[in-house]
Every structure is written in structure tokens, then in C-alpha cells.
């Protein structure tokens, strides 16, 4: 079949892409997410951003606002972007073993002053094994000696403000890092020079402290996701939902954090996880992609990485439970192997 055409789709046909952030410790993963989340929140206009359980949801209005200097908003068609918060998340290992992979796209953070580090290489292997597309955030550009801060500016705007020395050091470091990626079998290029996205992964220089390059990163994530994943991002009614973490919280009992990957969850829906049954009560209606916390009696035995099912009007509860048990067994066996 001919590839589906994004121009035929509108916001209501598409779900939000899900993005995760990977990279070596101290490259700025946490700070980068804070920065993406931060700007509007500080000014008291949350801009609809909701910090959810294990994830942050950015509605498209917010992304349009953040990227308007790049003048590309007309082409943005997904309802938003869901970023998984916690790269060091304990269940990440479980999710890792889950072949399907939760994320549509990843940000691989590399420190421009350090280049590729041991966990960068681990992250690369993980992305390769899951076939996940990624964008490199080449972070801490403000550490280049003599960098002139241009808060939240697109990277090319910021680059024009820099001295020849800074520009030269930047070029030198970028080309060294591109070589290091090549040694890992990966072609990379600065995103504004990258003519063959897909074959070649894009690098976006960023500062998580002063925000240079953040508009570029957001725009590229959304554009890239909608250009290459129309089918994957097409909204469907059938629920696709994965358990991120199971926690016991005092006063609340057992809660499970789940990522609603696709579909809609309704108030009163009968849910099944790992063979156990509960009911969803929180919102009238929740549309993917979102991160949600579910409190329910009897879900103590849930396992991270397993799927959550909803019992439909024509379904037999026992059949759904059986499917959920099978899913749990396959997740458990993969955890054992890893």
C-alpha cells in the first residue's frame, strides 16, 4: 500500500507521539526535561502542560508557542507530545526487555564537552535493538568557552551571536563527535544540514540551562514523528496501555502508573492487569498518549512492562484475564533472560 499521507490527517486522527530521553549520567537529561517543561510554568501559565506520573504531556498549543520563532507551526498535526520522565526508571529495564517498545522516538543526550561516553554507547545499542528513531541533543553548548547566552533562542540565531573562536570550537567538537558516532556505526549530522533524515540521525545543539536549541529540538521531534510514523500514530479506539511502575503509597494502597499509548480510557471501564481485575475511575475520558496513575484494590501483583486491558461489552472477562496472564508470563520470561 502507498504510505499514508500526513496531509490527509487532522489532530483528531492522530495520537501524541511518545518520547523518551536517554544518555550517559550527568549529560543533562533531567535538566533538559526541566527546561522543556519550565519556561511557561515559571510565569504562572502552565500552557496546559501537565506533569503526569512518570511522564509529562505537552499539548500542541504549548509546542507551537515554544517553536514560533522557527515559523513552522502550520504543519504540526499531532495533539501533543508525551515525554517519559524517568530514564533511570526502575521499570525501564523491564520495558527494555519488552520488544514492542513504548517510545516512538528518543532523545539521546550527549555532552558536547565529553562526546560519547560508556552509557551513551549502551543507549545506542538499546535504540538499535528496538529500532527506535532518535535525535541527538548535543547538550551544554553554553559551556563552550566565551559562549554568549541567548535564552531560548533557536540554535542558528544563537550561533550568529557567537565569536569566531566559539564557532570554531563548536565546529571542531561537532566533527569529533560525528566521527565517534561513525565508530559506533551511525551516521549523524547537524539537523539543519541533514538532507537524508532517517539514513542519518540529526544532531540538535542545546543548552538545558539557557534554552538555546530547545525550540529546534521540540519542532524536530514533532515533525520527524509525524513525517515517519503516520501509521503508528494513527489514533485507534482499541486500547493500548503499558504498566510503567507498580508502587505502594501510604494512604493510597497499591497504585500502578501506566502509559496510555493509544485508544481512550473511560470512567468505569473494567480493567484487567496480569490476570487481576479493577475499574478505572479517574477521568471521564482520557485520550492517548497520556501517563496515568491508577489506584485499585487487587492490583498488587501487577508487573511493570505488562499490558493493561479493558473488558469490552462483547468480551468475556475470563478470556481477557487469560490474555493478561499470558502477557505477564512473556514479560516475566524476558525479564528473567535479561
Q: Least distance (Å) from ligand GDP to the CB of residue 16?
A: 23
Residues 215-274 that bind ligand GDP (CB under 6 A): none
Residue with cell 551516521: 187
Segment interacting with ligand GDP, rule: CB under 6 A, options 50-58, 78-86, 138-146, 260-268 = 138-146
Query: Binding residue for ligand GDP (CB under 6 A) from 6, 15, 18, 27?
Result: 27
Cell readout for 192 is 539543519
Per-residue binding string, ligand GDP, 315-334, x by CB under 6 A, is --------------------
Per-residue binding string, ligand GDP, 175-214, x by CB under 6 A, is --------------------------------xxx-----
Q: How many residues lie near ligand GDP (CB under 6 A)?
A: 15
Q: Least distance (Å) from ligand GDP to the CB of residue 338?
A: 23
Start-to-end C-alpha separation, the chain: 37
The helix/strand/coil state of 330 is: helix
Query: Binding residue for ligand GDP (CB under 6 A) from 31, 37, 66, 77?
Result: 31
Rounded (5°) CA angle 253-48-234 = 85
Residues 271 and 256: their CA atoms lie apart, in Å, by 12
For residue 278, what are the β-bridge partners? 271
Q: Least distance (Å) from ligand GDP to the CB of residue 88?
A: 8
Segment interacting with ligand GDP, rule: CB under 6 A, options 53-61, 135-143, 146-154, 280-288 = 135-143
Segment interacting with ligand GDP, rule: CB under 6 A, options 134-142, 163-171, 172-180, 181-189 = 134-142
Q: Least distance (Å) from ligand GDP to the CB of residue 204?
A: 12
Q: Which residues, at least 6 apart from 160, have a Cβ–Cβ distance to it below 8 Å?
A: none
Q: Based on the shown chain and the rule CB under 6 A, indicate whether residue 153 belongs to the binding site for ligand GDP.
A: no
Query: Binding residue for ligand GDP (CB under 6 A) from 9, 11, 30, 232?
Result: 30
Q: Measured on CA atoms in the order 228, 229, 231, 235, is the torsion positive or negative?
A: negative
Q: Least distance (Å) from ligand GDP to the CB of residue 291?
A: 19
Q: Based on the shown chain and the rule CB under 6 A, indicate whether residue 173 belongs to the binding site for ligand GDP.
A: no
Phi first, then psi, for residue 95 (nearest 5°) are -65, -35
Segment interacting with ligand GDP, rule: CB under 6 A, options 47-55, 56-64, 140-148, 273-281 = 140-148
Segment interacting with ligand GDP, rule: CB under 6 A, options 21-29, 148-156, 266-274, 328-336 = 21-29
Strand residue runs (E) in 188-252: 188-190, 201-205, 240-249
DSSP codes, 241-306? EEEEEEEEETTTEEEEEEEEEESEEETT-EEEETTEEEE--S-SEEESSEEEEEE-TT-TT--TT-
Segment interacting with ligand GDP, rule: CB under 6 A, options 18-26, 48-56, 174-182, 189-197 = 18-26
Residues 21 and 27: their CA atoms lie apart, in Å, by 11
Q: Based on the shown chain and the rule CB under 6 A, indicate whether residue 143 belongs to the binding site for ligand GDP.
A: yes
Of the pair 76, 108, the CB lying nearest ligand GDP is at 108
Q: Least distance (Å) from ligand GDP to the CB of residue 198?
A: 27
Return the number of other C-beta atoms located less than 10 Å from residue 82's C-beta. Answer: 27
Q: Which residues, at least 6 apart from 137, have a Cβ–Cβ distance to it below 8 Å?
A: 23, 28, 32, 107, 108, 109, 110, 204, 206, 213, 217
Site residues (vs ligand GDP, CB under 6 A)? 23, 25-31, 139-140, 142-143, 207-209
Amino acid at each position: 500500500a502507498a504510505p499514508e499521507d500526513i496531509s490527509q490527517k487532522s489532530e483528531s486522527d492522530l495520537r501524541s507521539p511518545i518520547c523518551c530521553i536517554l544518555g550517559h549520567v550527568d549529560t543533562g537529561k533531567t535538566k533538559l526535561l526541566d527546561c522543556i517543561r519550565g519556561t511557561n510554568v515559571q510565569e504562572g501559565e502552565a500552557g496546559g502542560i501537565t506533569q503526569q506520573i512518570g511522564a509529562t504531556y505537552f499539548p500542541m498549543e504549548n509546542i507551537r508557542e515554544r517553536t514560533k520563532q522557527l515559523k513552522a507551526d502550520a504543519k504540526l498535526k499531532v495533539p501533543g507530545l508525551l515525554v517519559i520522565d524517568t530514564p533511570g526508571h526502575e521499570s525501564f529495564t523491564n520495558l527494555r526487555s519488552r520488544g514492542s517498545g513504548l517510545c516512538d522516538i528518543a532523545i539521546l543526550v550527549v555532552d558536547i564537552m565529553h562526546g560519547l561516553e560508556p552509557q551513551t554507547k549502551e543507549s545506542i545499542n538499546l535504540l538499535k535493538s528496538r529500532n527506535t528513531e532518535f535525535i541527538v541533543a548535543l547538550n551544554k553548548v553554553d559551556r563552550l568557552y566565551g559562549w554568549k547566552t541567548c535564552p531560548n533562542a533557536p540554535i542558528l540565531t544563537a550561533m550568529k551571536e557567537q565569536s569566531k573562536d566559539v564557532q570554531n570550537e563548536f565546529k571542531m567538537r561537532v566533527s569529533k563527535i560525528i566521527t565517534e558516532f561513525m565508530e559506533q556505526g551511525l551516521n549523524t549530522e547537524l539537523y539543519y544540514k541533514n538532507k537524508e533524515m532517517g539514513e542519518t540521525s540529526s544532531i540538535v545543539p542545546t543548552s538545558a540551562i539557557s534554552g538555546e536549541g530547545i525550540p529546534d529540538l521540540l519542532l524536530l521531534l514533532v515533525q520527524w514523528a509525524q513525517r515517519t510514523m503516520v501509521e503508528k500514530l494513527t489514533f485507534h479506539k482499541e486500547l493500548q496501555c503499558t504498566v510503567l511502575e507498580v508502587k505502594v503509597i501510604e494512604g493510597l494502597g497499591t497504585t500502578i502508573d501506566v502509559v496510555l499509548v493509544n485508544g481512550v480510557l473511560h470512567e468505569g471501564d473494567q480493567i484487567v492487569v496480569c490476570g487481576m481485575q479493577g475499574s478505572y475511575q479517574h477521568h471521564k475520558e482520557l485520550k492517548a498518549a497520556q501517563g496515568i496513575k491508577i489506584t485499585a484494590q487487587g492490583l498488587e501483583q501487577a508487573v511493570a512492562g505488562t499490558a493493561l486491558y479493558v473488558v469490552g461489552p462483547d468480551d468475556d472477562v475470563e478470556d481477557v484475564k487469560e490474555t493478561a496472564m499470558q502477557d505477564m508470563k512473556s514479560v516475566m520470561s524476558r525479564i528473567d533472560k535479561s
